[in-house]
Structure 1
Amino acid sequence: MHHKLVVLQEIRPNKVYLVKYQNQDKGQFYLKKYLAYQYQNIVEVVKILKGQQLRNIVKIIDVSIENNELLCVVEEACKYNLREIIKLHETTFDTQEILKCLLDIIGGLLELKNLNIFHRDIKPDNIVYDGENYKIIDFETAKKFQDDRTKVQSLDIGTLNYRAPEITQNRAYSSQCDVWSLGCLFYYMLFKQERNHMDQLVIPQNHNYDDQIIKILERMLEKNEKKRITLANLQNDVQQLYNINNNQTQSTRLEQNTINLVSDINKNINEIHNDINTFNNIMTNLIIKEKNEQKIIKLYQFWTKRLGTIFPLKIKERQTIENLLLFQIQEFKQKRIKIDLFASIDQIKDELNCIQDLNDYYDF
C-alpha cells in the first residue's frame, strides 16, 4: 500500500479502497489496484490521463507501481455506478436524464479519442455521476494506439453483452467499437434491461420513446462499423434531440407539476392526520425560507422519507411531495445548479440536525 495513503474502507476486496492522504486535508479518493499481468496494458493510458482536467473522465490523481502492482488513485466521484443509480432512481431517470447521460459519455469518449485512447469496456458499471456530470471510469481494458485502428485482436476485450461485432469476430477495429458499446448502454438506459438478442436489435413493444431516439439507437448498433454513426455525428444528433426535448417538456411539465401539486394538496388536506398536517406545514415553511439549493433538496428528501416510513398508507400525500421534488430538481438542473441526489437518509439527517423545527421528527 502506498505509504502516503490511509485506507478508510475496503470497497471491493483486494481491489478498490476508499483512502485519504496521510496528514493532508485533500479529501477522500479511491485507490484501485491492478495486478502485474494487467497493468502492462493500462500503465501507459493512466499515465497519460494523470492530471488531465477532463470533464467526463474520472480524474486520476496519482499512479505508482509497488510490489508488482499498479496503484491508481482517482477522485471520489460517486459511490454508485450507473447501473445502481438506475435501480435506485428508476422513476426520476427519465428521457431527458438519459440524453444528458448519453451526451456526457459521448463527451468522455471524444476526450479519450483526442488522446488516441480506446476505452473498450463501456457499460453501466463503468459510469459514475458526481452530482453534475456523468464520468467514465475503469481503464482496465483501455489502450493507446498510434492511429484510429488496430490489428490487435482479443476475444477477452470488454464485456460480452457490450462487445462490438468486429471484436467478437476477431477483426481489426477502431474507436467505433466504443460507439457500439455505448449503443448497448443506451439500450440499457432506455429499457432497463440488457440486450438478449445479440444477432439482431429487438425493440421492446409498448415503449413511449420518440422515433428519433430509436433511430439514433439503431445507428449506434449498426453491425458494419463503417456505416455506424461516428462519435462526432452522434454528439450533434443527441444534442439536437436533447435541446428539442428540453424545450418541449420544460415549461409544460414543470408548470403542470405545480398545478397538480396545488390541486392535490387542496383535495387531500382534510384527510391528513393532524400530525401529518403539522409536519407538512413545518416543511413547507422551512422550504419557502431556505435559500440554499442543496438544503432545499435535502428538505424535500427528508419530507418524503418520513412520510413513507411513518405513514406508509398515505401514498397520495407522499406522491404529492415527490412531484414537487421532481419539479425542483428539474428547475435546478435548468439553472445548472449542482445538486447531490444520492445522499443517504443518515447523511440528510446529519445535514438538517441544526434545524430546531425538525427535532420532533427524527423518528424514522
Structure 2
Amino acid sequence: MNEIVSLHKKEYGSEPEVIASAPGKINLLGEYTEFSEGYVLSVAIDRYVQVAVSRRNDNSLRFYSVNYDERKKTTISNLKKKREDRWANYPKGVISSLLRIGCVLKGVDITIWGDIPEGIGLASSSAMAIALTVALKKLFELELTDVQVIEAARQSESVFLGQKTGISSFLLTYYAREGQAMFLDTRSLEYEYIPLEFRDHCFLITDTRIPPSLIEIDDEIDYYEDFRTIVDALSSKKSGSSLRDFTKKDLSLSIEGVSEDTRRRSMHILDENQRVLDMKGFLEQEDMVMCGRLLSRSHDSLRNQFDVSCPELDWLVKRALETQGVLGSRLTGKGYGGCTVTLIEKDKIGTYEEHLEEYERIFGFKAEDFICKPSSGVKIIYPEER
C-alpha cells in the first residue's frame, strides 16, 4: 500500500483519500456456462488491483496507470470510449456507470496498480472495476447497495465498452471469502461457499506466457446469441429458457437452423454444468481424486467440443498429467492461451516446475506458475475501516 500512496502523491501532489483493493480470480470449473445461465465454481486469488483516488477542485478526471506508466485525462462531461485510451476506457466506464444511475461525482485523480497478469483469464479488469467502484462509493459517500456496486462495475464493460460480459467475475471479486471457493448459479445469482483449505494438495496456476498479440480469439462468435438460437429451437418442442433446462438427448435430435458447431458447444455446456455440481460435492467431501478427474474432463471438453484450446495449453495439461502427484489439469479462462489450473500434491510442485523448462525449449515462452491461495474479496485498505 505504501508504494501506491507515494506514487499517487508524486503524480498528483497530494496523498490519496481512499485506496481499495480487489482480487483476481480463476474458474475451477464452469467455463463458458454463464452464457446460458449455468453454474460456475470459482475462487479469488492472492493477486490484486489497487486503486487510489482523491478529489479535485474541478470536473477533470485524471488517470495514472503504474503498470503502463501512462497518463490519460478527460472530464465528467466528456466521457467517451476512445481507442487510443485503451486501459483508461475501463475506469471511464465505471464513472459513466455511476453517473448513469444518478450518482453525483466531481473531478477525481485516480492511480491504478496491479499484479494480476492481464488478458489471461484472471479477471484483472473485473478487479479494477470493482475496486474503483468501491473506492468512489467511499470517497463520495454514495448510497449504493451491494448489487448496485456489482452491476455498476459490470456495466462499465457491458454498456460503456459494449462487451459481452457476465456478472460472475464481478460478483466473486466482491463477495469472495478467504480460504473458500464460490459456487454460483448465474440464473438465480444464489451462491454458496466451499472450504478449500487442503493439507496436502493445492491448485496451481500456470501462465503460458503467450503474448496477447499472438492469441487469436474468435470474436466473431456471439455465444449468448449462439445458445439463444438453439434454446429457441428446442423450446418449440419442450419448455425451457436456457440450455440447463434441456438434456443431451434433446440436443441429439434433429434441430433445424442450428449448426453442428453450436450443437457441440451446447453439449459442453450441459456436461460442464454437471461437472460443476459434481465437483461441488467432491470438494465438500475432500475427494481430491474425483476433483482432479473432473478438471481433466473439462479440458478435454473445452478442446474437443468448444474448440478453445491451443498446442501450448494442451502440452501443459498433458505434461502435468504425466507428473507424479498431479490429479487433474485444465485450461481456465477463454482459452487460446492464458492459463491452466492444476490440482497437485504440494510436495510435487518442484517436479512439475522442472517440466516447464522443457515447455520453454519447445514453444519459446517461459511459463510461470504460482499457487492459488483463496483470498477475500474487495476491501478498503486506506483509510483502515474500523
Measured against the shorter chain, the TM-score band is: under 0.3
Q: Which has the higher contact order (CA 8 A, sep 6+)?
A: 2
TM-score, normalised by the number of residues in structure 2: 0.26
The TM-score with structure 1 as length reference comes to 0.27
